[in-house]
Amino acid sequence: MQRLRGRRRILGIGGLPGIALTAEDVRILAGPAEFRSTLLEQIAQARRRIVLAALYLQDDAAGREVLEALHAAKARHPGLQIAVFVDWHRAQRGLIGKAACTGNAALYTEMARRHGPGVPIRGVPVQTREWMGVMHLKGFVIDDCVLYSGASLNDVYLHRGDRYRLDRYHLISSRALADSMAALMTRVLGNSAAVSALDCESRQKTAALRPAIGRFRRQLATARYGAPATAGVGDLSITPLLGFGGRDNELNRAILQLVQRARRHLLLFTPYFNLPGPLRRAIEARIRQGCRVTIIVGDKTANDFYIPVDEAFTTIGALPYLYEANLRRFCKQHQDAVDRGLLDLYLWRHENHSYHLKGLLVDDDYALLTGSNLNPRAWRLDLENGLLIHDPQGRLASQHRAEVDRILQHCRRLDHHRSLESVASYPEPVQRILRRLARTRADRLLNQVL
């Protein structure tokens, strides 16, 4: 793993080291069901290593299925290296808005007790409090392949049941990429005293980890993926990027440079419409310069925090309405660009399913795969990563078009800001919360940590 000390030379997009690929090395999966089957197939075929990073691995049918598959793979091949990294805080609590419980760590302990050691699950504390930052790295390294998605591991992300949460899914065959991503997880995360076992009865207390967490954060601030520059001019290539903190954030810098270099078309996916200021201003500059911008966001009813009107309301249920209010203001501000076709805003909605897509497509030659929600929290607080694909010959263009076409099947174009519901039509509990936030100007503060 490459670490640079002192002032690091700031590289533009074109100067980043790229790992050479062929078009056959990249496969875009069609949806969450194929993502689940591919993950399980890859685990079953693994012979050398399985290193997984996700926000969480849930105590539900899909989470248990994945854990059982990992233990079965270890039993078949005792020399198989396995490591699972999830967020430390998220693993030790229940779902937001649900009853209190011991969290997913209880499942990990049960599995370890039943199957024995061999599938270590480590909790990564990016901060001492969850609201101050989480481990949001994504990527499953299995032998010489990387299965990359913004999805975590549970029933809805893996479509094990009636509902699914849509994300983006890429299977990339590249030993160099797999080595780079596995090295960062095992050497940086795995060797930190702050990163502790979750699959045991006597877990560390967060308070006891505070000094180690401080050292870990300083290490993350200088960490980078080590990527051999094997791609030549004109080659299809991929570069892993790390993002942490509000300063000298490699992933954030690449996102801004991607937007700024767009000339013909910029396509952005985000699940929560709450763009960081620098990203919003860069997008607005592209619109003014005549670049066509498309943003695909989930309808408020496709937000994972949405509470149907016939169910008991809790405060967290106001979030989708807050995001819709952000979108309404943005659309109103740029209504002329919407009318002229320079700005296309699409809302995704499919029955009772939810939307979790993230990333960028730029001028048919760059694509960013990322777990970052492209919001202020991801920009400043969470540990994020992404894979930057440079495709100057358009070898993956047909796969990208097919992916976008599948997504647009369940989208409607927002042709006017009045097409969105007004605050006056929201449920009364939501109206009260939004009025209180606006009166105290707390909505602006809230947007910075969501």
Q: How far apart are CA 225 and CA 388, in angstroms?
A: 12
Catalytic residue among 356, 391, 403, 417: 356
Query: Which residue of the set 344, 384, 391, 403 is catalytic?
Result: 384
Short-list 365, 448, 393, CA closest to 13: 365
Residue 334 annotated to the active site? no
Nearest to 26 by CA among 397, 360, 385, 406: 397
Q: Is the dihedral of CA 207, 212, 215, 221 positive or negative?
A: negative
Show the tokens assigned to 346.
């699409």
Q: In the annotation, is 390 catalytic?
A: no
What is the rounded distance in angstroms from the CA atom of residue 197 to the CA atom of residue 69?
20
Contact 85, 138 (CB under 8 A): no
Distance CA 203, CA 15 (A): 44
Is 42 buried (19+), middle (13-18) or exposed (0-12) by CB count in 10 A?
buried
Token match 């369940």: residue? 410
- CA-based nearest residue to 348, from 267, 450, 271: 271
What CA–CA distance (Å, rounded) separates 336 from 188?
48
Closest of 55, 79, 50 to residue 67, by C-alpha: 50
Question: 177 near 18, Cβ under 8 Å?
Answer: no
Pick the closest to residue 80 from 70, 94, 65 (CA basis).
70
Instruction: State yes or no: is 443 an active-site residue.
Output: no
- From 71, 136, 159, 334, active-site residue: 136
* Residue 95 near residue 108 (C-beta atoms within 8 A): no
What does the block give as tokens for 275?
């763009």
C-alpha dihedral (212, 218, 219, 224), degrees to nearest 10: 150
Contact 354, 167 (CB under 8 A): no
**365 a catalytic residue:** no
- CA proximity to 250, closest of 18, 16, 1: 16
What residues are annotated to the active site? 136, 167, 356, 384
